[in-house]
Amino acid sequence: MGELIPLVILILAFVVGLVLIPFGLPGLWLMVVALVGYAALGRFEQVGWQTLAAVVVLGVVAEAAEAWLGFRFAKKYGGSNRAGWGAFLGGLVGAVIGMPVPVIGNIVGAFVGAFVGAVVLQHSPGTEVKATLGAGWGAVLGRASGAAIKIAIAFAIAVIGLYAAWG
């Protein structure tokens, strides 16, 4: 019974982490911290340092992919580096501003913020409206792609963590 409770808590942390990710909250890092805690409880015998290192690397890759895709898609749809930065920063600000709205505020705020950030930083005198809006649309697509990749990597972290813990 004593070994079952930490495993159940780990599973719950993984589920909560997976639910938090689409809301722009640090669910992926909750999962990593939960696995580190589980490993520490077991004196790193069942879940070893190699597994923890792999999970941390996957987390960093997920974060980098999410940020890079916002830049990439904003540029693909006609934006500049400024639009990429606008998408990134606007997504963060939008998620924070959306927090007071229950359930979907963070998601909507992040997407709207990415769009507005890309459009505002892309726009300059002489820039065509079509190019400016294209950068905004690219930022939205990049944000969605980044979130999808982050969720997929979070599932991989859950599988790796549970496989090691179940060991």
Q: Where are the domains of the chain?
A: 4-166
The model carries a pTM of 0.81
Q: What angle do CA 22, 27, 32 make, to 5 degrees?
A: 145
Q: Tell me the CA distances in angstroms from 158 to 2, 10, 49, 54, 73, one per residue in order.
A: 22, 9, 16, 12, 28
pLDDT digits (tens, 9 = 90+) for 103-162: 688 888 988 999 999 999 998 887 788 888 999 999 999 989 988 999 999 999 999 999
| Mean pLDDT, range 160-165, rounded to an integer | 96
Question: Which pLDDT score is estimated for 127?
Answer: 76
